[in-house]
Amino acid sequence: MSIIENQSFDIERALYGSKHLILKNCAFDGPADGESALKESSDIQVDHVFCNLRYPFWHDHGLKISNSEMTELCRAALWYSDHIEITGTKMHGIKALRECSNVIIENCDIISPEFGWSVKDITMRHSTAESEYFMMRSENILFSDVTFKGKYSFQYIRNATFENCVFDTKDAFWHGENITVKDSVVKGEYLAWYSNGLTLINCKIIGTQPFCYCKNLKLINCEMVDADLCFEKSEVEATITTPVISIKNPLSGCIQVPAVGEIILDDENAKGKICVQEDPTKVKNKICRCA
């Protein structure tokens, strides 16, 4: 492989179409303000590289990025690329990852609105992220030890597993399909509306009006905090370990909970069963027993 070290590139398509290349201690930066430095390249390794220009890694095949930085000016850094490994890197430009496949991200710091749209086969470990519309329409996702903060995350995703994560987010998992969340904290308003096949195991769920209009929803040994108007019009099987403020019109299934402040059943189509395991005298409305 060819090695380039200690150089700076700022012209348009500076290394276009490169193959079998190692870049060390280099920069994409400078007054020429060129774009698309490594477009249409393959078998590229990037280590300690400063990316301050737009669109550096488009249509690349076989890309390893380590210990590098993509600044706010590095817009849309990785699009239409595949077989990517990114470690120890700051990804701080908007729309940093789109339409890519076979991606591994580890020990990275992501601050990137609209990150990860339409990505297939992505693994993320030991990383932090801030974004809006994070990972929208992506599929085959595996996250572990990821801390996320932002709005409208994981919408329309498919086939995803999240383990030991902390998500502080609003409107997460809307319209998502086939999702499993384990041993995680999920905080935010209106979680997972219109999802299909969402399972949460040993999770802590915080926030108002979670899990409405869901299909095939399962909660297994989960805590719910500040949760009111839960499960409206949802197909749900749930074992909850903490009291909830209110449950409203579950469509079908069975909810087991130690205590409920209020059960609202004012929809004749709401056939879901609610099993209050302790202190039923505190419930204002009718209690339905699980079959």
The structure's pTM equals 0.94
Q: Quote the pLDDT of residue 156.
A: 98
> Does any domain span residue 90?
no
Give Cβ neighbours of residue 203 (< 8 Å, ≥ 6 apart): 181, 182, 183, 184, 185, 186, 219, 222, 223
Q: Quote the pLDDT of residue 278.
A: 59
> Does any domain span residue 102?
no
Q: Quote the pLDDT of residue 30.
A: 97
> Does any domain span residue 237?
yes
> Does any domain span residue 142?
yes
Backbone CA torsion sign across 70, 110, 172, 189: negative
Q: pLDDT digit string (tens) for 9-18?
A: 999 999 999 9
> Does any domain span residue 128?
no
Q: Quote the pLDDT of residue 288.
A: 53
Q: Quote the pLDDT of residue 290.
A: 52
List of the chain residues with pLDDT < 50: 280-287, 289, 291
Q: Quote the pLDDT of residue 63.
A: 98
Question: Do 200 and 222 touch, CB atoms closer than 8 A?
Answer: yes
Domain coverage including residue 263: 133-282
Backbone CA torsion sign across 20, 25, 29, 30: negative
> Does any domain span residue 41?
no
Q: How far is CA 120 from CA 57, 80, 135, in A?
A: 17, 11, 10
